[in-house]
Amino acid sequence: MIGQELSVHSPDVDVVPLSAIADILGGPENDAVGVYLRVDGELTGQIMMVISYQQALEFCDMVLDQPSGTTQEFGRMERSALSEIGNLTGTFFLNAIYEITRLSSHPSPPAVMVDMVGSILDVVIATMGTISDHILMFKAAFQIGDRKIQADFWIIPDPATLEKLTIAEMTES
């Protein structure tokens, strides 16, 4: 799609209380873009890539090889680009987990949401079933050439998956 190398750097990984996510992302009323993936298979849960609204506009410009400031709204092409990046990155995380645990999973087709942080978070909570008090949050930087944007990834495993991951970790030790 972009004809250039897209690198991803994940400097921070943290376990975050679910109740703190909206504040970490600047407050529940901040505009943001989320790319949601449901995970099914031996491991189940959710992955959500969240980017501030302005960073998502810039991300589209980067991925579509346009000058900064070109993208002003999220049309079909821009949503498709964000969807593909969310899908590729989510699959990367799932493959990394598979390499460690040998437990397979597959993501759903991505869904792109443009809304306030609080509304995006509500979608995740509504689809979770049993809610965990904490999630894994990765802060990733995407870079193409000298252009860089920051995105957050929420990894929200279902309780059964947490148990499988704990068992797999104990067998590895």
The residue whose two tokens read 């987990």 is: 97
Q: State the Cα–Cα distance between residues 65 and 4, nearest whole angstrom.
A: 9
105, 38 Cβ separation under 8 angstroms:
no
Which residues contact residue 147 at a Cβ distance below 8 angstroms, ignoring those fewer than 6 apart?
58, 62, 68
Cβ–Cβ contacts within 10 Å for residue 139, how many? 15
The residue whose two tokens read 């600047």 is: 26
The confidence score (pLDDT) of residue 74 equals: 95
Task: Give the residues across from 15 on adjacent strands.
Answer: 136
Angle formed at CA 161 by CA 160 and CA 166, multiple of 5 degrees: 100
The confidence score (pLDDT) of residue 4 equals: 64
For the chain, the first-to-last Cα distance in angstroms comes to 41
The confidence score (pLDDT) of residue 173 equals: 54
β-strand pairing of 105-107 with 31-41: antiparallel
Alpha-helix residue ranges (DSSP H) falling in the chain: 21-24, 53-63, 76-101, 117-126, 159-172
Q: What is the DSSP letter of 146?
A: T
- Mean pLDDT in each 10-residue stretch from start to end of the chain (173 residues)? 64 77 87 93 88 93 93 95 90 83 89 92 71 75 86 80 64 58
The confidence score (pLDDT) of residue 79 equals: 96
Secondary-structure class of domain 26-166 per CATH: alpha beta
The confidence score (pLDDT) of residue 100 equals: 81
The confidence score (pLDDT) of residue 76 equals: 95
Which residues contact residue 158 at a Cβ distance below 8 angstroms, ignoring those fewer than 6 apart?
44, 45, 128, 129, 130
The domain segmentation of the chain, as residue ranges, is 26-166
